[in-house]
Amino acid sequence: MVAGELVQEHLRADAGAPDDITAVRKRPEPDGAAAEFYPTCGAEPAAGGEDARRALEPEVPPDEREAMLPNGGGEGGGGEALDKDRRELETKLYRRRFAVLVVFSLYSMVNAFQWIHYSIIANVFTRYYRVKNVSVDWLSVVYMVAYVPLIFPATWLLDRRGLRLTALLGSGLNCAGAWLKCASVSPERFGVTVGAQVVCSVAQVFILGLPSRIASVWFGPREVSTACATAVLGNQLGTAIGFLLPPVLVPNTPDDLELTGHNISIMFYGTAAVSTALFILTVIVIKDRPPLPPSPAQAVLPGSPLEDYSYKQSIINLMRNKAFILLLISYGILTGSFYSVSTLLNQMITDSFQNQELNAGRIGLTLVVAGMVGSILCGLWLDHTKTYKITTLIVYVLSFVGMMVFTFTLNLDNIYLVFLTAGVLGFFMTGYLPLGFEFGVEITYPESEGTSSGLLNAFAQIFGIIFTLIQGKLTTDFNPLAGNLFLSAWILLGVLLTALIKSELKRHNVNMGANSNNLQTPPVDCPEDCPLQNKTNGVKLEPSVSFSRETSL
């Protein structure tokens, strides 16, 4: 019974279900006003008209069909207007998309490096600045604290002013914070290094929400999940380098503070130089969007913000989406757990293994590099199968298993076993990050990718703050086992919440509908009595739309 239903559902999805998705473009106004989209309002085509039209039209080659939105139901609209609308909805992929992705990934990498490079050698900085462990922990926590209040103006800026300005702010502030750290190399200037880290944390607000936006507006439907995973990969790579390089560049020299300061200067000046070069590349390379959209799902959205666009309404729409609320909480739990483990890894390893600061960094590197592999594999898998919920749930369950194994093998006095268990934990826990982004975009389409990603990251930061402070307290007052068990209990709750998410493949359905001649763009105006309940900032969907659910591979 179940197998039969899965096969039938799979066949319906392959056929481009649902058949009743209809997007109608309003004719461009002479004064160049922004185009708007409306649904058809119940008008039925003339009997036999559709069959006759299809019989007379020549077969469109598959490559050309993928490069444009098909015309459907435009009788009476005029051939010239139809051709114009078809050209406006043409799709194309540009080589520049790879340069945009690489530059973003690199400056995101530097920002992540600056987040973790204090925590992984916390014992060195506590001795150099003569502060307590909790003070160095706050140099990591400040990234999470700054994100929560600033994400709303940052996503508003992304939606209203576009990708380029947001990217420039992220890269520029990251560069400014890196240079400010160069002035903080003195035992009496801990306040300066806190200020510099605050600047870098503000830069992060304009970085973390961009992967899904870059993937959606620059990459095609068959590569969007891989592109998002690659963009997230840059941030993970920065965390990996932040685990690896600081213990090498700034070794523990407790008897020579001058040498310690010299080593810290080398790390800070090198970071500032790289940040400057990447800011220049950001100015040159990153643009808001390509001249033509890369996918049908982007083609049916307005090319620029509409006059009636409401950021507040977008937030309200997302908060009314029950599936997205469940994803917000579950994503926040797992990603917040990753932030907490990354921040406190040095303390956990040095508590169980004496004088192993260098190996603590290597274990962190293993954790993140394994996660990078997991991210890419998950992105490729999603592009191939579009099984968002089942993939997310499986990765979540395996993250819980990995956390439990890591917890109970940490105190077995076998450093090599810790390397192995950290790699398993990182593969699934870090590999989950792009899954959450793409799943969120899928179930909230056509809302802005920046808004959904921003909210996901905001919840991740909130949980990260709470988990880091509580786990840090449990680790200090008791032992790492107590802190890790605390995280494991929350991850188990996240598994249950993920299982409750109702998966509707909205963006995927629009792409499938376009490729199956079910997405129509007749140049007719929508009457004033069109229902408004499905309006989403200039985009409307039919009340009868029934999005296919993910039930098979």
Beta strands in 31-148 (DSSP E): 37-38
| Token digits of residue 69 | 């939105």
Give the pLDDT confidence of 26-44 residue by residue, as tens digits.
Answer: 444 444 344 333 333 334 4
Residues 358 and 502 in one domain: yes
Q: Tokens 């068990």 appear where?
A: 485
- Pair 261, 377 in one domain: no
Residues 233 and 340 placed together within one structural domain of the fold = no
Residue pLDDT, tens place only, 71-130: 444 444 445 544 555 555 677 888 899 999 999 999 999 999 998 888 888 888 988 999
Q: How confident is the model at residue 309 (pLDDT cuts 50, 70, 90)?
A: low
Summarize pLDDT for 417-431 with one digit per residue, the tens.
988 998 898 888 877
**Rounded Cα gap, residues 397 and 492, in angstroms:** 8
Structural domain contains residue 58: no
- Please report which confidence band the pLDDT of residue 8 belongs to, taking 50, 70 and 90 as the band edges: very low
Cα(231)–Cα(254) distance, integer angstroms:
39
Residue 540's SS3 state is: strand
Same domain, 435 and 331: yes
The mean of the pLDDT values for the chain is 75
Segment 536-550, tens digit of pLDDT? 554 544 433 444 455
Q: Is residue 273 part of a domain?
A: yes
Q: For residues 493 and 457, give the distance between their C-alpha atoms in angstroms, rounded to a whole number.
A: 19
Residue 269 belongs to some domain of the structure = yes
> In whole angstroms, what separates CA 395 from the centre of its chain?
16
18: preceding bond cis by omega (within 30 degrees): yes
Work out the angle between the directed axes of helices 163-182 and 210-218 (0-180°, nearest 10). 140
pLDDT tens-digit map of 227-269: 887 887 888 888 888 888 898 898 888 788 889 899 999 999 9
Q: 262 and 133, same structural domain? A: yes
Helical (H) or strand (E) element with 536: strand 535-536
Residue 200 lies in a domain: yes
Reported confidence tier of residue 318, pLDDT bands at 50, 70, 90: confident
Asked whether residue 357 is domain-assigned, the answer is yes
Out of 291, 323, 350, a domain closes at 291
What does the angle CA 280 – CA 284 – CA 286 come to, to the nearest 5 degrees?
A: 110
How long is the chain? 553
* In a shared domain, residues 175 and 248: yes
Q: What is the DSSP string of 398-449?
A: HHHHHHHHHHHHTTSS-HHHHHHHHHHHHHHHTTHHHHHHHHHHHHHTTS-H
Q: Are residues 181 and 123 in the same domain?
A: yes
> Do 133 and 205 share a domain, yes or no?
yes
Lowest mean pLDDT among 46-55, 145-154, 311-320, 478-487: 46-55
Residue 2 located in a structural domain = no
123, 346 contact by CB (below 8 A): yes
Ramachandran category for residue 130: left, alpha or beta (phi over 0 → left; psi -120 to 50 → alpha): left
Last residue of some domain: 291, 321, 340?
Answer: 291
| 482, 353: one domain | yes
Kindly state whether residues 368 and 422 are assigned to the same domain.
Answer: yes
Nearest by Cα to 504 from 324, 299, 320? 324
Of 247, 254, 464, 491, the closest CA to residue 346 belongs to 247
Query: Which residues make beta-bridge pairs with 536?
Result: 539
The pLDDT assigned to 401 comes to: 92
Q: Do 154 and 262 fall into the same domain?
A: yes
What angle, 0 to 180 degrees and rounded to 10, lies between the N-to-C axes of helices 210-218 and 432-444? 60
Q: Which residues contact 471 (CB under 8 A, 6 or more apart)?
A: 340, 344, 483, 484, 486, 487
* CATH code, domain carrying 331: 1.20.1250.20
CA distance 261 to 252: 11
Judge whether 31 lies within some domain.
Answer: no
The verdict on residue 8 lying in a domain is: no
User: Is residue 360 a contact partner of residue 247, using CB atoms and an 8 Å limit?
Assistant: yes
Helix (H) or strand (E) holding 24: strand 24-25
E strand or H helix at 51, and its extent? helix 49-56
Are 312 and 156 contacting, i.e. CB atoms less than 8 angstroms apart? no
Which domain, by its residues, includes 397?
312-514
d(CA 472, CA 208): 24
pLDDT of residue 316: 80
297 versus 101: the higher-pLDDT residue is 101
List alpha helices for 286-385, DSSP H.
296-299, 311-319, 322-352, 357-385
Instruction: Say whether pLDDT at 313 is over 80.
Output: no
User: So what's the pLDDT on residue 179?
Assistant: 96
**C-alpha to C-alpha distances, 267 to 113, 182, 271, 374, 476, nearest whole angstrom:** 11, 9, 6, 29, 29
* 266, 382: one domain: no
End position of a domain, from candidates 256, 291, 326: 291
Is-contact 256 29, C-beta < 8 A?
no
Structural domains of the chain, count: 2
